Chain A
């Protein structure tokens, strides 16, 4: 049996209590929500917290999606502990943020989506074929720098880790311009999704260790459209090996603003401003779609550390950006 190591399990009922418990831990400590990322990692000894703080009993984290007005802007807000099933199946999310519903729906499997939360998905550990292996496997080739070792097996001369941000919903949140509400030692903080991720396989989140993601705020922009396309080997179970999230704002059939974000090709969801520039000011004609696809192709630099060949994955960036833009154009017809 692949068993969990021993750990102390704490169940705070408020955010303040949870942050305090995290701050006072003297050894490695981790929050857990659905556990569908943390527990497999603990079983393989990627993560070995002596203390695990459950966020499950903190009621305010479970607030279902709501439409609210904040500072005269309209948002859909979602509590971090809402399950992926309840995000993708929620009518408000389906109507007002269909790209997010689609991304959440594309994650893992039905039972895992019943357990896994949107907050956990956004804080998902980065992934790599040399890391997501059993302890014995990793020991047999010698550990890598993400856990217990000094070298990177993907790029042995590299001083950094290239593990991949494989969250399906993170690129969509950035494309939609979402904000994340964090609660930590210094109180509440609001961080744009685009600033929440670092280009680093180890320190992949731009937040304090004890900060809790409490709420996601997705702005509702009139006249906009968005979509998410996911490339993977099987139609279920698999993490993305490429995710393409596109958001467009229309003004009289002309693209007035856009964001194109690639998932699973780097340690952070990669924003491609030059691809957005290629379509802004156009009516999304074939030529501008091709220009955007070519612009996304160049900086898409998958490494050889996930499923499927990297040259093909890079090629597919072009195909998926093209498909996503055609889909958005068809929505306006």
Chain B
């Protein structure tokens, strides 16, 4: 089938690409735009690794057609560091909220959308918001703690991780 010319607004930048008409947003981001921060996991909606934000809302990029995402604001993990790491990225790094890191972009973006809506989420709010993102090695506690830490800092609090929460320290 003939390729299709599309224009996508990714992280605030207009990007043109010549894509396979049936390509998913995930494929377009990774293969046509070389934005490989968005990860492919199950590719069936069952893991959340490929989560990106469309108009601020988390969606599963492996189940969206790239061509159907034109004229929307797409945000990938590459857009989070601007150029300094986002508070969530710093908190994830400080607390060791990633081991292999494969699921991290999806968690970061989902958490960012949550914090945009609720600056002071409860632990349950965080659990509910992240319920569609699987992590198979870190476990979820450090991820929840990192979101809480980032949220506190984004509210302007001088929050520091508790000593026992820092990976590798006494």
New A-B contacts (4) at CB < 8 Å, excluding given A9-B67, A39-B63, A109-B132: A2-B43, A6-B21, A35-B65, A111-B132
Which A residue sits closest to B132, measured CB to CB? A109
A54 to B57: give the CA distance in the assembly, Å. Answer: 20
Which A residue sits closest to B30, measured CB to CB? A1
A236 to B45: give the CA distance in the assembly, Å. Answer: 12
Q: Are B63 and A40 in contact (CB under 8 A)?
A: yes
Residues of B within 8 A of A236 (CB): 131-132
Q: Is B100 an interface residue (CB 8 A)?
A: no
Residues of B within 8 A of A54 (CB): 68
Residues of A within 8 A of B62 (CB): 2
Q: Are A114 and B131 in contact (CB under 8 A)?
A: no
Q: Are A9 and B27 in contact (CB under 8 A)?
A: no
Partner of B44, one of A2, A5, A111, A115: A2
Scan residues 59-91 of chain B and give those whose CB is less than 8 A from a CB of chain A. 59-60, 62-65, 67-68
Which A residue sits closest to B57, measured CB to CB? A114
A-B contacts, 13 listed (Cβ < 8 Å): A2-B62, A3-B22, A6-B1, A9-B65, A39-B24, A108-B45, A109-B132, A110-B110, A111-B51, A112-B60, A114-B57, A115-B60, A115-B63
Which A residue sits closest to B46, measured CB to CB? A237
Residues of B within 8 A of A56 (CB): 68
A44 to B63: give the CA distance in the assembly, Å. Answer: 13
Chain B 10-50 interface mask (CB, 8 Å, partner A; 1/0): 00000000001111100100000000000010011110100
Q: Are A9 and B22 in contact (CB under 8 A)?
A: yes
Q: Are A110 and B131 in contact (CB under 8 A)?
A: yes
Residues of A within 8 A of B116 (CB): none
Residues of A within 8 A of B129 (CB): 110
Q: Are B58 and A114 in contact (CB under 8 A)?
A: yes
- CB contacts between A and B, total, < 8 Å: 77
Q: Is A4 an interface residue (CB 8 A)?
A: yes
Give A residues with C-beta under 8 Å from B. 1-7, 9, 35-36, 39-40, 43-44, 54, 56, 108-112, 114-115, 235-237
Residues of B within 8 A of A6 (CB): 1, 20-22
Residues of A within 8 A of B22 (CB): 3-7, 9
Which B residue sits closest to A6, measured CB to CB? B1
SS of A interface (majority): loop
Partner of B27, one of A1, A44, A110, A237: A1
In the assembled complex, the CB of B169 is this many whole angstroms from the nearest CB of chain A, namely 32
In the assembled complex, the CB of B79 is this many whole angstroms from the nearest CB of chain A, namely 17
In the assembled complex, the CB of A29 is this many whole angstroms from the nearest CB of chain B, namely 15
Q: Are A36 and B45 in contact (CB under 8 A)?
A: yes
Partner of A110, one of B23, B44, B132: B132
Q: Are A3 and B132 in contact (CB under 8 A)?
A: no
Residues of A within 8 A of B21 (CB): 6, 9
Q: Are B46 and A35 in contact (CB under 8 A)?
A: no
A19 to B10: give the CA distance in the assembly, Å. Answer: 34
Which A residue sits closest to B109, measured CB to CB? A111
Scan residues 113-152 of chain B and give those whose CB is less than 8 A from a CB of chain A. 128-129, 131-134
Residues of B within 8 A of A109 (CB): 45, 48, 131-133
Known interface pairs A4-B24, A6-B22. Does A112 touch B132 (Cβ–Cβ under 8 Å)? yes
A235 to B128: give the CA distance in the assembly, Å. Answer: 10
In the assembled complex, the CB of B46 is this many whole angstroms from the nearest CB of chain A, namely 6
Which B residue sits closest to A35, measured CB to CB? B63
Residues of A within 8 A of B1 (CB): 6
A235 to B124: give the CA distance in the assembly, Å. Answer: 13
A35 to B129: give the CA distance in the assembly, Å. Answer: 21
Residues of A within 8 A of B44 (CB): 2, 40, 43-44
Partner of B43, one of A1, A108, A237: A1
Known interface pairs A6-B1, A39-B63. Does A110 touch B68 (Cβ–Cβ under 8 Å)? no
Residues of B within 8 A of A39 (CB): 24, 63
Q: Are A115 and B59 in contact (CB under 8 A)?
A: yes
Residues of B within 8 A of A235 (CB): 131
Q: Are B46 and A111 in contact (CB under 8 A)?
A: no
Residues of A within 8 A of B51 (CB): 111
Known interface pairs A9-B21, A9-B67, A109-B132. Does A114 touch B40 (Cβ–Cβ under 8 Å)? no
